[in-house]
Amino acid sequence: MQFLNYDHHRAMFEAWNSRLWHNTSGVLLWMSHPAWPSMIWQLYSWNYATHAAYFGAQKACEPLHVQWNLDDHHAVVVNTTLRPLTDGKVVYTLYDVAGRQIATETRTVQAPANQATPVFAPQLPTPLPAVYLLRLVLTDAAGSVVSTTDYWQKSVPTGGFRLSTCCCRCSWHRALFGRMRPHIRSPMSW
């Protein structure tokens, strides 16, 4: 549930970022917190506990942010600072659910101050696994990481993200003093 809270609040603010100062100038949240216990659609809970949605909104509102526009499949650098980013780099990498790298691409970017700058629309390799991780990393001219953003994507039109729930196998074995212990194996060890 918290993963969904993180993802949909980040997506709301990234949608706003993608049209920064062109047809959008802000985002209005209907409910930042509920009046009763609830797990969804708020930044913090009725007792002021911080939900994952807060961190998703915080991620999308970084002063220098790299994002994947879901509508046009472009990597975009959003610079809401008053200083331009010169000689930055955007690294686009795809991973399967086992953590193996599928593809990578790097581009240089000049991001003017207070603007969203489309960097590139990478070509997705074929075939893609049913579920994969798309990671974007923005570095500055010195090579320091400024922003990292991850997106779980699927290549099949139906079935959702079912594979993401079964990427590990778990079995029980008897350990020291006869206690049962879980033994978790990732797909890399199958």
**CATH code assigned at 156:** 2.60.40.10
Confidence of residue 189 (pLDDT cuts 50, 70, 90): very low
Considering the domain boundaries, does residue 171 fall inside one? no
**127: preceding bond cis by omega (within 30 degrees):** yes
On the question of pLDDT at 173 being above 70, the answer is no
Residue 190 located in a structural domain: no
Q: What is the pLDDT of residues 32-76, one digit of tens each?
A: 766 666 666 677 777 777 888 888 989 999 999 999 998 889 999
Whether the predicted pLDDT of 81 surpasses 50:
yes
Q: Are residues 41 and 11 located together in one domain of the fold?
A: yes
**Enclosing domain of residue 55:** 1-61
Q: Are strands 169-174 and 145-154 parallel, antiparallel or unpaired?
A: unpaired
List, for residues 99-120, the tens digit of each pLDDT value: 999 999 999 999 999 999 999 9
String of DSSP letters for the chain: -HHHHHHHHHHHHHHHHHTBTTTB-----S-SS-SS--SSS-SB-TT-PBPHHHHHHHHHT-SEEEEEETTTTEEEEEE-SSS-EEEEEEEEEEEETTS-EEEEEEEEEEE-TTEEEEEE-PPPPSSPPSEEEEEEEEE-TT--EEEEEEEEEESSSSSTTGGGGSSSEEEEEE-GGG-EEEEEE-GGG-
Whether residues 78 and 32 fall in one domain:
no
* CA dist., res. 6 & res. 3, Å (int): 5
In a domain, 189, yes or no: no
- Are residues 150 and 70 located together in one domain of the fold? yes
Given this model, what pLDDT does residue 190 score?
45
pLDDT attached to residue 19: 80
Is 87 in the same domain as 108?
A: yes
Per the structure, how many domains does the chain have?
2
Model pTM score: 0.79
